[in-house]
Chain A
Amino acid sequence: MSSAPPIAPPTDVRRAAIATAAVFVVNGATFSNWLPRIPEIRDRLGLDNAGLGATLLGGGLGGILGALAVGRISERLGSSRLLSIAAITLSIGMPLVAVAPHAAVLLVLLTALGTFDVFNDVAMNTQAVMVQERLRRQVMNRLHGMWSLGFTAGALLGSVAQAAGVSLRWHLGVVGAVLLTTVLVCRRWFLPIDDPHQPHAEAASTDGDVAAPVRRRGPRGPMIAMALAAVGAISLEVVPSDWSAVFLTDVFDAGRTAGFGTVACAAAMLVGRLAGDHVLERLGEHRMTTLSFWLMGAGVAITVVAPAPAVAIAGLVV
């Protein structure tokens, strides 16, 4: 992975890389388009904030259900078919948010979208890892940067559409059609067959290329450890992005400038993801992980002891 030979990758791999990047953008834009219009949806359904919060929990619930089921479904369908099905379903399902007649219908819809979002996430990243291995260079950070770009563009478009008075149905309908077309064009370029999983190193054959058949229940220790690491990682993403404005308001009485914390976090994440592959290729995985932990610890420390908002924002950026 570290020493890239100076040969151009085959056309099918390059196409798969482009198609995978496109679905990362599409996935980011799918959900962010309607986020700025949530107050409009709340008012149309006659909900208060508590009712809205309960309805929005559907996305999280669907995500949990999807994560519990996705392993078997992915093994059965393969990532290419699963990605096509999930991305098409999300592109068609997202605009339905605009026509949900009742909070209960929206709750069910968001639960389904949350489930298919996990299917999409797993299949998209499986494709991304295979593309990375065929390209023989790091691209995961850049692909996740594409997701961030899609998310930012979608949120911006949603805000502009709202400010321009474009109806929610037209806005989400047109965006859904564009996203659906993108997926339909790209799906033929996905890598069609998943790589066999890697056997454990100790028991692998000496030539190392014979994979054991897929089993449904893998070694639980590493998988549980991975789930716990993801709890930590998402906390470090959610705390600065979702709570920085509240932090700056409560601690520093930042008022109208409180939103800069969120903007700074989003920008820092995008820069980190776009630069991450270069840093990873230079430092290697172990040194980059060690450096990341030091930086995360420093960022938390700077933020919590910051004497002024600018220092706190610097900590959030780190």
Chain B
Amino acid sequence: MFPLLYTTAARLPGTSAGAGLGWMLLGQRGGAMLTAAAVGGVSSWQGMRVAFATVAGGAVALMLASLRQGNRAAERAPLATSA
């Protein structure tokens, strides 16, 4: 999925490629740290199967919802003008 996300982030309407990719990488780097903590925490509480199911299942749901929301928001967003 990442090559597709990079392409989309670099071509978000109304903003520069650097800004779009910066936001995407903010999620990527923060998400990597959150994922490690989430899998570690849930697995020591409920075991590895539950940890995989909740974290990976939640990730699929989050991607699906955010990409749909992103498409809607991109359609609604006003034209960017200079700061």
Instruction: Say whether A231 contacts B27, CB under 8 Å.
Output: yes
> Can you list 18 contacts pairing A with B, beta carbon distance less than 8 Å?
A60-B33, A122-B17, A126-B18, A129-B7, A140-B6, A144-B2, A221-B70, A223-B15, A226-B9, A229-B5, A230-B26, A231-B62, A233-B59, A236-B63, A243-B39, A293-B60, A297-B57, A304-B49
Size class of the contact patch on chain A: 35 or more
Specify which chain B residues have a CB less than 8 angstroms from the CB of A125 in the assembled complex: 6, 10, 17, 21
- Do B70 and A60 touch (CB < 8 A)? no
Contacts A198-B13, A226-B70, A234-B27 aside, 15 further interface pairs with beta carbons under 8 A come to A68-B22, A125-B17, A129-B7, A197-B13, A215-B83, A218-B19, A221-B73, A222-B74, A230-B5, A230-B24, A232-B60, A250-B47, A288-B4, A293-B60, A296-B56
The residue in chain A whose Cβ has the minimal distance to the Cβ of B17 is A126
Chain A interface helix/strand/loop/mixed: helix
Residues of chain B from 35 to 83 with CB closer than 8 A to chain A in the complex: 35-36, 38-39, 43, 47-53, 55-67, 69-70, 72-83
Contacts of B14 in A (CB 8 A): 197-200, 212, 215, 218-219
Whether A243 touches B7, Cβ cut-off 8 Å, given contacts A200-B80, A204-B79, A212-B82, is no
Which listed residue, B20, B47, B53, B72, touches A226 by the CB 8 Å rule?
B20
Q: Complex formed: what's the CA distance from A219 to B21 in Å? A: 13
Question: Which residue of the partner chain A has the closest CB to B64?
Answer: A293
- Which residues of A from 119 to 134 have beta carbons under 8 Å from B? 121-123, 125-126, 128-129, 132
Shortest CB-to-CB span from A221 to chain B, Å, is 3
Q: Which of A73, A74, A197: most chain B CB closer than 10 A?
A: A197
Candidate in B4, B29, B65 with the most chain A CB atoms within 10 angstroms: B29
Quick one: given A71-B18, A200-B80, A233-B1, are A223 and B12 in contact (CB under 8 Å)?
yes
Q: Check B63 against A74 for contact (C-beta < 8 Å).
A: no
Q: DSSP majority for the B interface?
A: helix
Inter-subunit contact B1/A122 (CB<8 Å):
no
Let me know if A218 and B12 touch, CB within 8 A: yes
| Interfacial residues, chain A to chain B (CB-CB below 8 A) | 57, 60, 63-64, 66-75, 79, 82, 114, 118, 121-123, 125-126, 128-129, 132, 140-141, 143-144, 194-195, 197-204, 212-219, 221-240, 242-243, 246-247, 250-251, 273, 276, 280, 285, 288-289, 292-293, 296-297, 300, 303-305
Q: Which residues of B contact A289 (CB under 8 A)?
A: 4, 67
Task: Enumerate chain A residues within 8 angstroms of B13, measured Cβ to Cβ.
Answer: 197-201, 219, 222
| Chain B: minimal CB distance from A222 (Å) | 4
When chains A and B are docked, how far (Å) is the Cα of A223 from the Cα of B66? 10
Known: A216-B83, A219-B77. A68 touches B60 (CB 8 A): no
Task: Return A83 CB to nearest CB of chain B, in Å.
Answer: 11
Closest to A225 in B: B70
CB nearest neighbor in A for B10: A129
Name the A residues within 8 Å of B18 (CB-CB): 70-75, 79, 82, 122-123, 126
Q: Which residue on chain B has the smallest CB distance to residue A195?
A: B17
